[in-house]
Structure 1
Amino acid sequence: MAKKKVAIIGAGASGLAAIRHALLYGFEPVCFEATNDIGGLWRYKEDERSINGTPLASVMKSTVINSSKEMTAYSDFPPPSSWPNFMHNRQMMVYFRKYAEAYQLTKYIRFNHFIKNVERTFDFENTGNWNVFYVDETHPTLNDELPTRLASGTIIMKPAIRKFTANGICFVDGSIVEQVDTVICATGYSISFPMLEDGKLIPVNDNKVELYKYMYPPELSDKNTLAIIGLTQPLGSFLPISEMQARVFFDVFAGNSKLPKKEEMLEDIRAKQEALKNRYLPTRRHTIQVDYIPFMDELAKLIGCYPSIWKIASMDPFLAWKVFSSPTPSYVYRILGPHSWEGAKEALLEAESRVKDGCNPGKPKTWKPKEKSFGFFKFFIIGFVICIILKLFF
């Protein structure tokens, strides 16, 4: 039987995780990437456009991640001990390349393929299938009107902006333009899905989107064959959330887990919107805000990989203590559930060592956790086991 094909749009941080988990669940991923490389926003681009001429956004040249390497890592790919704890975007690109190489992801990516539109097939109600329309790789083009407008002076090129005045703009070359009516900031603050049925599939109202777990359109709840991965603004790291969303999608798509009906999805969406309304100022900025650990736990419970302390303690009391007492890197969500990872325990136990070594990048390891020497925690472990016994039998 032929494998089911899954279209993945973009080979950035979320797209790479989606390819990885499509393969884990036995699907055939086809990833469409508008540029000639992986990394998405994390690949610094001074002035790059997709093959259809669309300007592409990226991090700034100086951008450094604001969540530590351990909290940012994919759940089955810990960063090297020698790397700094807060990585520059160049280091993030090295991490993405190593991840793609380790799991042979690039062969599933079609570079320089720009998605024009995605729409439901005529038999969607029965199959849940989609048509994907894309612009194939070709030579770059330039709008014919632009050179003429530049030559005639209709469009005037200006250097970088130094500052704004009360009604004008000062540029770095010293020139000033007065009486400016409008400034267009092309910074991507607006949420939109122009490639999904010409932007009509997922309505966006003042930057608010109705997506279950910020992934699924409730209107398609009968099929759930389309999901948005990575559309969150977490208080914490974004990358593990994108990966967990990919895990949820493919677990559901494989038929291993089920999502609630449309009404329950809408109820969950409304509850999240109400919570944001009560917590934040009513601005376009605070529409997809999530708390890292509670949201990761929500997603994990959908597919049975929630790191239950009691379940872990029944297998390994010391590991349960580490899960309980440590920050919550993504490795803890690979201890239990589908596609659990044998290396999750080691990744978690050595995380503190990698953090310490990350304070002195490039230097050899000087410290390693002693799993078998409980020391101060010996009494706690004994008490912990007694509590488990009491819970199980009384």
Structure 2
Amino acid sequence: MPGKRIAVIGAGVSGLGAIKICLEEGLEPTCFEGTNDIGGLWRYQESLNRLCYRIVYKSATSNTSKEMTTYRDYPSPDRFPNYLHNSRIMEYLRMYAQHFDLTKHIRFLSKVHSVRKRSDFSCTDVLVETTGKQESYVFDGIMVCSGLYTEPILPLQNFPGINRFKGQYIHSCEYRSPEKFQEKKIIVVGIGNSGADLAIELSHVASQVYLSTRRGVWIWNRVWDNGMPKDTVLFTRFKTILNKFYPTYVLATCGDDLPNHIISGRVLIKSDVREFTETSAIFGDGTEEDLDVVIFATGYTFSFPFLENNATVLDSQHSMFKFVFPPQLETPTLAFIGILQPVGAIIPTWELQSRWAMRVFKGMKLCLEGRRLSSDLRFLTAFFFSPSAFRFLNNPRDTCRVQYVEYMDEIASEIGAKRNLPSIFLWDPKLAIEIFFGPCTPYQYRLQGPGKWAGARRAILTWREQIVKPLRTRTLICDQPPSSVPFWLKSACAALLFVLTLVIIKG
């Protein structure tokens, strides 16, 4: 008997994961991709087009490490560096698609025009345009995998005088490489990851770069304690528990070279722009600087024009149930993958969302049993996000943020993929200690539940070797890098786990 028919919209990192999980669950996926290739925003192209906002700049490199960013059952090659340039990410995605034979399920140059639910809610009609010809399809479920970066935000109304500025102004999505900005005076507006990257890169060729920000931000280095990638040190279950007892600063930007460029004057930090003149910018503190170029690194917003109620599907009040299911649907046959911003790696987060959505599409009895996706979900969603609301700012970007480990555990619990640490300690203490103190790698969610992977345990225990491998360009005799967690603390926590295990057994 054939499985349910599922439409996957978009063949980027979330779409590829959704296709693979459809096949894993015995469903029949058809992916519609508007361009002629996979990869989404990670696929670099030199020339601009109407989809320029979905293309990375030439030097773009991931700010999460390869061990944390992989799909759960397909680790990155150990020869890959720990942080991947966009070309390496594309190489990994092509390997993944080829290994699981995903491209045969993708229809390229196919733009989805409309998605309409039938009156009896039995299925959904999808209208698609391919090479000028429109075709209609019927599906049992829809996976929207077009992501967060759909429309660039260019808030010109917030910058008086920009229309009379005689220099050049662009959104960061139009930036490709620094060559044409030689000896220019440039201001980058916005201090997110792309804003910091562009300011650093342009400072090598420009006569002066200014970086305008309305607020302060914490700068993270990709390399952390003992030479480890930052996310392998910060995103652990142990650190997640500690974060509950002292303030955390999650509003951070990756900018390894930014402090050096600031202290040497190559990048000058400025307050918010009050207004532009024909040749300069006047800042909130009253200072004025002459300019040739303005680059707005002011982010993106999502848009789903193919949906009947695009304006009401998503809103700033978190009405989406755990950022996946819209609450107003009578039956959960529409799922959004990748419209949240985890403080951590995106690929495993989006992949776990897909695993949950597929189980719901198949009618599996999850936490939704006995509840309609209606007003109940608005209450549950508000409850789910209220504990972390104080950690983020109230703007479109930050309302989509979630804590990585907490959110992953929450979704994993829905599908039975989250392991109980005390029980693991009983039969495999080495693995339990690594899960608690080590990085919360994607492989932890393949130890059990749907899509269980036989190689998960080994991948969890060998993450250090995978990190060190590409760095061994010459032979040295040295000890293993010291752990970022003191031995006495590991021992105390291991003893606590042992006591909890005994309590469970006696109970």
User: What interval of TM-score do these two structures reach, taking the shorter chain for normalisation?
Assistant: 0.7 to 0.9
CA 176–159 in structure 1, closer or farther in 2 if over 3 Å, else same = closer
| Residue aligning to 1:142 | none
Contact conserved, 1:191 with 1:204, CA < 8 A, in 2? no
Q: Choose from 185, 204, 218 the match for 2:315.
A: 204
2:55 maps to amino acid = S
Could you give the per-residue CA deviations for residues 209-242 of structure 1, whole angstroms, max 9, x where no partner exists? 521110100111x411110001111111111100
Q: Which residue of 1 aligns with 2:6?
A: 6
Asked if 1 retains the 8 angstrom alpha-carbon contact of 2:168 and 2:292, the reply is no
Question: What does the per-residue CA deviation read over 1:183-232, in whole Å, with 9 as the maximum and x for residues that have no partner?
Answer: 99697622322111262451435xx5521110100111x41111000111
2:84 corresponds, among 84, 87, 94, to: 87
Local SS of the residue matching 1:30: strand
* Whole-angstrom distance in 2 between the partners of 1:380 and 1:185: 47
**Which structure 2 residues correspond to residues 69-148 of structure 1 after superposition, within 5 A?**
69-124=66-121, 127=122, 129-137=123-131
Answer with 210-219 or 350-359: which moved more: 350-359
The residue that corresponds to 2:336 in the other structure is: 228
Q: Is contact 2:422–2:498 with CA below 8 Å preserved after alignment?
A: no
Instruction: Give the alignment partner of residue 246 of structure 1, picking from 354, 357, 360.
Output: 354
Q: CA deviation at 1:313?
A: 2.9
Does structure 1 residue 388 correspond to structure 2 residue 501? yes
Partner of 2:24: 24
Match of 2:234 in 1: none
**Structure 1 residue ranges without an equivalent (≥5):** 140-157, 178-182, 370-374
Distance 1:201 1:259, change over 3 A: farther
How many Å separate the matches in 2 of 1:378 and 1:332? 22
Alpha-carbon distance between aligned partners in 1 of 2:298 and 2:412, rounded to the nearest angstrom: 33
Q: Give the distance between the partners of 1:305 and 1:250, measured in 2 at CA.
A: 14
- Tell me the C-alpha RMSD between the 2 structures: 3.4
1:353/1:368 contact within 8 Å kept = no
What amino acid is aligned across from residue 270 of structure 1 in structure 2? A
How many angstroms does 1:244 deviate by? 0.3
Q: Deviations over 1:37-71 (max 9, x none)?
A: 1110111123354xxx5545222111111111111
Change (3 A) 1:176 1:24: closer
Change in 2 beyond 3 A, CA 1:184/1:9: farther
For residues 476 and 501 of structure 2, the distance between their equivalents in structure 1, rounded to whole angstroms, comes to 36
- Measured in 1, the distance between the counterparts of 2:389 and 2:506 equals 44
Counterpart amino acid of 1:388?
A: T
Q: 2:304 aligns with which of 193, 196, 207?
A: 193
Please state how far the C-alpha of 1:310 moved relative to its aligned partner: 2.5
**CA displacement at 1:286 relative to structure 2:** 1.1
Q: Judging changes above 3 Å, is the alpha-carbon distance between structure 1 residues 286 and 380 closer, same or farther for their aligned structure 2 residues?
A: closer
- CA separation in 1, counterparts of 2:479 and 2:16? 31
Contact 1:212 1:266 in 2 (8 A): yes
Deviations 1:352-378, CA, capped at 9 Å, x for gaps: 100112334x67999999xxxxx9999
- The structure-2 alpha-carbon separation of the partners of 1:86 and 1:54, relative to structure 1 and needing over 3 Å to count, comes to closer
C-alpha distance in structure 1 between counterparts of 2:97 and 2:429, whole Å: 34
Distance 1:120-1:348 versus aligned 2 partners, 3 A rule = same
Residue 43 (structure 2) aligns with: 43
**Matches of 1:380 and 1:274 in 2, distance apart?**
29
The one-character-per-residue Cα deviations of 1:327-372 (angstroms, maximum 9, x if unpaired) are 1001001001122110101111111100112334x67999999xxx
* Aligned AA (1:202): V
Quote the Cα distance in structure 2 between the aligned partners of 1:349 and 1:203.
40
User: In the TM superposition, what whole-angstrom CA distance separates every residue of 1:253-287 from its partner, at most 9, and x where no partner exists?
Assistant: 12223343334311132235544543333222211
- Name the amino acid aligned to 1:72: T
* 1:149-176 deviation line (CA, Å, top 9, x unaligned): xxxxxxxxx9776546932369xxxx97
Alpha-carbon separation, structure 2, partners of 1:264 and 1:318:
41
- Within 1, Cα distance between the matches of 2:379 and 2:479? 47
Match of 2:252 in 1: none
Aligned to 2:365: 257
Q: Which amino acid aligns with 2:276?
A: A
Matches within 5 A, 1:361-372: none
Q: Is the 8 A contact 2:114 2:307 kept in 1?
A: yes
Task: Give the count of matched residue pairs.
Answer: 354
Offset at residue 72 of structure 1 (A) = 0.6
Q: Distance in 2 between matches of 1:350 and 1:367?
A: 18
Query: In the alignment, is the contact (CA less than 8 A) between 2:8 and 2:18 conserved in 1?
Result: yes
Q: Are residues 317 and 95 of structure 1, via their aligned partners in 2, closer, same or farther at CA, if it must alter by over 3 Å? A: same
Counterpart code for 1:246: S
Q: Please list, as runs of the form range in 1=range in 2, the aligned pairs for 1:159-198 lying within 5 A after superposition.
A: 163=186, 166-168=276-278, 189-197=300-308
Contact 1:45–1:58 (CA<8 Å) still a contact in 2? yes
- Supply the AA of the counterpart residue of 1:393: K
Instruction: Work out the CA distance in 1 between the residues paired with 2:96 and 2:69.
Output: 13
Displacement after TM superposition at 1:323 (Å):
1.2
Deviations 1:279-300 (A, max 9, x none): 3332222110000000000000
1:17 and 1:112 map into 2 onto residues whose CA distance is: 20
- TM-score normalised by length of structure 2: 0.63
Which structure 2 residue ranges, 5 or more long, are not aligned? Answer: 134-166, 171-183, 188-274, 281-290, 481-486
Question: CA 1:66–1:363 in 2, change beyond 3 Å: closer, same or farther?
Answer: farther
- After the TM superposition, which of the residue ranges 94-103 and 318-327 deviates more from structure 2? 318-327
Change (3 A) 1:13 1:366: farther
CA distance in 1: counterparts of 2:498 and 2:457, whole angstroms: 19
In proportion to residue count, which structure has more strand?
2
